[in-house]
Structure 1
Amino acid sequence: MFLNEILLLGFQRLGNYRFVFSPTLIFVYTFILSGNTIIILVILSNKLLQSPMYFFLCNLSFSEIICTTIIFPIMLQSLLRNGITLSLIGCLTQFFFFASLVLTESFLLTVMSYDRYLAICRPLHYSSIMNFRFCCYLSLACWTSSFLMMSFVIGILTQQDFCGQRNTIDHFFCDLVPILDLSCSDTSDVKFTVYLFSPLSVFCPFLFITMTYISIIRSVLSIRSATGKKKAFSTCTSHVIVVSTYYITLFMVYLVPTNSFLQINKVLSLLYTVITPLVNPFIYSLSNREIKAGIAMYLNWKIKMRP
């Protein structure tokens, strides 16, 4: 590696509007942190929410807190300074953690769909299968598998020659394609590795989630009681909305040709890194009675604890 520094352009085309845009991003970042933190605290402090679904929701909220913390501070600095300089190691580190957490969320959403499948389609076996130990194993598998995959990608990526002919990334964070554009050597090994892991980490989970919900819908439709159908569907509503938001934005970002529509891709990436973690606390708090009740109990408890 001969390239020492990378210029991250961020949102240079905003001009003076960046001073208006930056307070909005600070507010959004604060809300993402507080919203997901409240969900974690509410679940951990409420015994009624000690179930596998909420255990995985804690993991999902925690991953979103880390992911936004990796992206937002650097994005804000590049916005205020009209660009920011990063070391090559720093850029690769940001990409490693960001991509690992994206895969972690994909796996967690898959495990959550499996949890809903067991709860609705195999209710008699649910408690025996989804015990606390098995939930911990599934959670650990989600985190370790994603970080191991990205460690392999980063290992190959560090073998590339970055000879300093190009040192500018027209983006607000270090993503794979902009990093590969800086390389002056053959990138086919990196691309092959990514193409190999993409079906395992994104498309297979998406297919699995789709198949589980087909089974769930069939089981729910077989319920004769209208109340029973409504109750069964209500347990899946939040997860379906989150999955839809996650995969729609993800596919939009990585299926749009980056060379031809660079600015569009930047906007879509902004939607993905901002909108998804922003709306998730809303989705789980507004459409879930147990979460809303837990938040109310938690806030009442905090008020009573004040001197």
Structure 2
Amino acid sequence: MSSSSTLHLNQSGTTEFVFRVFTTSPKIQALLFCFFLLLYIMTLCGNTTILWAVYAHTSLHIPMYFFLSNLSLVEICYTTIVVPLMLSNILGAQRPIPLAGCATQMLLFYTCAGAECFLLAVMAYDRYVAICQPLHYTLIMTQKRCIQLMVASLALPFYLELHLTILLFTLPFCGHRLEINHFFCDAPPVLRLACGDIRVQQAVIFVMGFFILTVPLVLISISYIFIANTILRIHSAEGRRRAFSTCSSHLSVVLLQYGCGILVYMRPKSSTSEDEDWQLALVYTFVIPLLNPLIYTLRNKDVKDALKNSMSCTAASELP
């Protein structure tokens, strides 16, 4: 039978994917399931706490915390897109996901990942305006402007990733039931299962990944160059400390986000195996959404004060 006939037969049925099984040992499966479920619950609790604190306290009703609450919401969506299906597969079920479901998961996952990068750039711009142009802050960072920046941070990666997803999933796949060497529908392992020439798709993945990681990073860097220049011109040591403290949480999250992102997605592919790729992606998927709310809770005085006040009010209301 010719290769064209084989390809026709493979494409005549419904293509579906299954994810790699972590382990076949029931004891290890149970331990992994409990471990990742605990991380997921902690991630949901941490980010929900940020959302609640910003919503419940009028002192946090300013642009900086509006963007922070949206970042927490994106991270809740980001993990929820991947983790529930991953948990079911950890137990060795290998439940198939149809081609359309795989495409949807990839689109939503990359949209949230891109939105995180752009929201961090918007938050850096907000800090730039607050520190470098404080007299014009309320005129520049209006409610309308904040909503526009938030929508743009979501719409741009969605637009880019929609085209990438369509480009990937219009490829023919060699078989009806294919195993992805990963724990979610990530573009590189899905692309390895395609039949035919994939050079165009590989180039598009690289260009889009470079754009989504690099453009926000450049904007963040430019903002902090101006911020650093302004802080250094402040004569008072206490003034410099207070100005820097408003940026420290954001800087910590940026370093964590881009440190993990570069480690996972911008390393030379020849230097690591596919197994190392998904293991590092596992760290990236769980560590950042879990640590970001902890950083903002522990390093941000306004958020800490809001949470302390809430706990104090709750404790006082429970007294007889």
> What is the TM-score when the length of structure 1 is the normalising length?
0.93
Q: Greater shift after overlay, 194-203 or 117-126?
A: 194-203
Displacement after TM superposition at 1:57 (Å): 0.3
- Describe the SS at the equivalent of 2:185: coil
Q: Which residue of 1 aligns with 2:222?
A: 211
Q: Which residue of 2 aligns with 1:111?
A: 122
Whether 2:198 is the aligned partner of 1:192: answer no
Displacement after TM superposition at 1:238 (Å): 0.5
- Describe the SS at the equivalent of 1:162: coil
Pick closer, same or farther for the CA change 1:258–1:170 going to 2, 3 Å: farther
Whether 2:287 is the aligned partner of 1:275: answer yes
Displacement after TM superposition at 1:258 (Å): 4.8
Superposed counterparts of 1:1-307, under 5 Å: 2=13, 4-12=15-23, 16-81=27-92, 83-164=94-175, 167-258=178-269, 260-302=272-314
Deviations 1:144-188 (A, max 9, x none): 111111111112122111131871111111100011011102223
User: Is 1:284–1:291's contact at 8 Å kept on the other side of the alignment?
Assistant: yes
Where structure 1 has 5 or more consecutive residues not aligned to the other structure, the ranges are: none
Deviations 1:245-265 (A, max 9, x none): 101111111123556422221
Separation in 1, partners of 2:267, 2:210:
18
Separation in 2, partners of 1:92, 1:17:
30
User: Is 1:113–1:239's contact at 8 Å kept on the other side of the alignment?
Assistant: yes
Separation in 2, partners of 1:121, 1:84:
53
Separation in 2, partners of 1:303, 1:86:
47
Separation in 2, partners of 1:91, 1:257:
26
Separation in 2, partners of 1:163, 1:4:
9
Deviations 1:73-117 (A, max 9, x none): 111111112644222221111111101100000100000001111
User: Is 1:156–1:189's contact at 8 Å kept on the other side of the alignment?
Assistant: no
User: Is 2:51–2:72's contact at 8 Å kept on the other side of the alignment?
Assistant: yes
- Describe the SS at the equivalent of 1:186: coil
Instruction: Report the AA paired with residue 38 of structure 1.
Output: T
User: Is 1:12–1:82's contact at 8 Å kept on the other side of the alignment?
Assistant: no
Count matched residues: 307
Separation in 2, partners of 1:217, 1:10:
48
Superposed CA RMSD: 2.0
User: Is 1:11–1:171's contact at 8 Å kept on the other side of the alignment?
Assistant: no
Q: Identical aligned pairs, as a percentage?
A: 36
User: Is 1:241–1:283's contact at 8 Å kept on the other side of the alignment?
Assistant: yes
User: Is 1:118–1:126's contact at 8 Å kept on the other side of the alignment?
Assistant: yes
Separation in 2, partners of 1:280, 1:10:
29
Separation in 2, partners of 1:159, 1:176:
13
- Describe the SS at the equivalent of 2:287: helix
Q: Greater shift after overlay, 275-284 or 185-194?
A: 185-194
User: Is 2:115–2:153's contact at 8 Å kept on the other side of the alignment?
Assistant: yes
Instruction: Report the AA paired with residue 168 of structure 1.
Output: E
Displacement after TM superposition at 1:305 (Å): 6.7
The structure having more radius of gyration, on CA atoms, is: 2
Where structure 2 has 5 or more consecutive residues not aligned to the other structure, the ranges are: 1-10
> What is the TM-score when the length of structure 2 is the normalising length?
0.90
Deviations 1:113-148 (A, max 9, x none): 011111111212211101111001000111111111
- Describe the SS at the equivalent of 1:12: coil
Separation in 1, partners of 2:310, 2:289:
22
Instruction: Report the AA paired with residue 129 of structure 2.
Output: L
User: Is 2:15–2:177's contact at 8 Å kept on the other side of the alignment?
Assistant: no
Displacement after TM superposition at 1:290 (Å): 0.7
Deviations 1:215-247 (A, max 9, x none): 211211111100001001100010001011101
Instruction: Report the AA paired with residue 295 of structure 2.
Output: I
Separation in 1, partners of 2:266, 2:277:
9
